[in-house]
Amino acid sequence: MAALPPAAVLGGYDAIIVWNDLALFAELIRAFPGFIVFRSHGDRSSVAAALWQLSLRSIVESRNNIRILFSQPEDVGREEPWIARLSRWTQQTAAGVPDTAVGTWDRSPPNGRPVGILVPKDSDGPSPQRPYLRRMSRFIQDHFAAEGFQTIGEPATEQGAAPSVVDMLQNLSGLFHPYVGEGRLPHATIAMLLLGGPVVYFQGSMLSRRIAPGNPGEARTIDEAKALCRRLREGDLALANEIIHAQGPVQGHYRQGNVWPGFDRNIREITAEAMLVLGKPDSGPAFVEAGDWNARELAGNIVEGIRTPIHEDAALGRRFIETTYNVLLERAPDPSGWAHHERELQQHGRVDVTLNAFLNSEEMRAKQPANRMLRWLASA
């Protein structure tokens, strides 16, 4: 688990996104009063169970500024109602594999290239995943250590397939996904699917549910998995091509061009909720900390502008411009500025673009407001 920064540093943020580290998420729930978004992917244990074990349920239920973003709808369905109501889902991808690299795995005869196997690393701090990770490590050591695999360390907390891992995958004859059960899909596995290399996996795993039945890469037993990996390592290109063909249809689920728009949409909607919460004086840090500015009206107009196309409601556009001038610049809009921003809104219909223009204006930069959440929205 990454160490928490000093309280003085934490207090400088309005919102924090935690990437798949339950232990860090738990510590932030205790230490950080602002808005927290937890991005969960590939976890075997439920978030509800983990937070309950850490005695955090009552704290989570008492706050209105925690949201969880899962990577598949089944994850939300597995959770207890008190977590499910805070949750959304959006597909995961492998950050190290851009769409230009999809399908670039070398299909020439492997000539004895090794097969990779994912080996989980223990977490750095207290984590509900630790017993499972240790059991998986022992399982792999007991059954596959002597099979000549190229081990790929799978960190307990992942932020994407690193370039070194992607390079390694390109030079393998295949990848063995050893996890049994539906709750784990590491980034390295997704990266190999995107690159277009063959993946061997167990029946009943998450890949078994995603890929059509009858895939020649699906193993029912340990011995079958060993035999498939041995054939790939020995250069059985016919088997490799059959596996690649069967897993091809799932590539689109994980392509960045298909995943990031949904992720961005969810983050924008969560941010809109965060603005409503942060705009209330009794809910922790406000958008702005200078003078006696009232950000609630601006937040409401921004949220309404996100939900309603500006060109469908001209009055909303005028309210947004007027409120933005009043709150951010502390003055009435001048005629030329008003006309300019009104034309902008009618042209693109997006309040975040106009907000970005406000935040980057010379007058705005001179004021130097403590307005991190609005700046984040403007750059989203």
Higher pLDDT, 330 or 226: 226
DSSP 8-class letter at 171: T
Radius of gyration from C-alpha coordinates of the chain: 25
Nearest to 275, CA basis, from 246, 296, 248: 296
In a domain, 328, yes or no: yes
Do 14 and 53 reside in the same domain of the chain? Answer: yes
User: Does residue 103 carry a pLDDT above 50?
Assistant: yes
Percent of the chain predicted with pLDDT > 70: 59
The answer to whether residue 322 is domain-embedded is: yes
Domain that holds residue 112: 99-254
**Which tokens is 205 given?**
């795993």
| Residues 208 and 131 both lie in one domain | yes
Higher pLDDT, 141 or 331: 141
Q: pTM to 2 decimals? A: 0.61
Assess whether 229 and 331 both reside in one domain. no
pLDDT digits (tens, 9 = 90+) for 10-49: 656 777 888 777 888 888 888 888 888 888 875 556 888 8
**40 and 165 assigned to the same domain:** no
At 158 the three-state DSSP class reads: coil
Of 89, 110, 126, the residue at which a domain comes to its end is 89
Does the residue 276 lie in any domain? no
- Asked if residue 279 is part of any domain, the answer here is no
Q: Are residues 124 and 63 in the same domain?
A: no
State the pLDDT at residue 334: 67
Render pLDDT for 186-202 as a digit per residue (tens, 0 to 9).
788 889 999 999 999 98
Residues 67, 71, 74, 76, Cα dihedral to 10°: 0
And the tokens for 43?
A: 């976890």
> Cα–Cα distance between 113 and 223 in angstroms, integer?
20
**Together in a domain, 108 and 78:** no
The secondary structure of residue 327, as a DSSP letter, is: I
Structure tokens at 86: 């805070």
| Long-range contact pairs involving 17-24 (C-beta distance under 8 Å, separation at least 24) | 19/157, 19/159, 20/157, 20/158, 20/159, 21/156, 21/157, 22/47, 22/50, 22/127, 22/128, 22/129, 23/123, 23/124, 23/125, 23/126, 23/127, 24/125, 24/157
Query: How far is the first Cα of the chain from the last one, in angstroms, to the nearest whole number?
Result: 27
Both 81 and 105 in a single domain? no
Our count of domains for the chain comes to 3
> Does residue 173 fall inside a structural domain?
yes
- If asked whether residues 153 and 244 sit together in one domain, one would say yes
Structural domain contains residue 73: yes
pLDDT digits (tens, 9 = 90+) for 365-376: 555 444 444 444
Is residue 281 assigned to a domain?
no
**Residue 247 contacts residue 215 (beta carbons within 8 Å):** yes
User: Does residue 187 share a domain with residue 123?
Assistant: yes
Do the domain assignments include residue 310? Answer: yes
Give the end of a domain, one of 89, 112, 132.
Answer: 89
CA distances from 210 to 83, 214, 335 (A): 25, 12, 57
Tokens of 102: 């999809």
Q: Of 37, 71, 89, at which residue does a domain stop?
A: 89
Indicate if 32 and 106 belong to the same structural domain.
no
Residue ranges in the chain assigned as alpha helix (H): 7-10, 22-31, 47-53, 57-62, 73-78, 81-84, 130-144, 163-170, 187-195, 206-210, 222-233, 237-247, 251-254, 256-278, 296-307, 314-324, 335-348, 351-359, 362-367, 372-379
Q: Are 242 and 297 contained in the same domain?
A: no
Close Cβ partners of 25 (under 8 Å, ≥ 6 residues apart): 18, 36, 38
Amino acid 21 reads D
Residue 195 pLDDT: 92
Confidence class for position 296, pLDDT limits 50, 70, 90: very low
Q: What integer pLDDT is reported at residue 26 of this predicted model?
A: 87
User: Which CATH number is 128's domain given?
Assistant: 3.40.50
Instruction: Examine the domain organization and report whether 306 and 371 are in the same domain.
Output: yes
Burial category of 380 from C-beta neighbours within 10 Å (exposed 0-12, middle 13-18, buried 19 and up): exposed
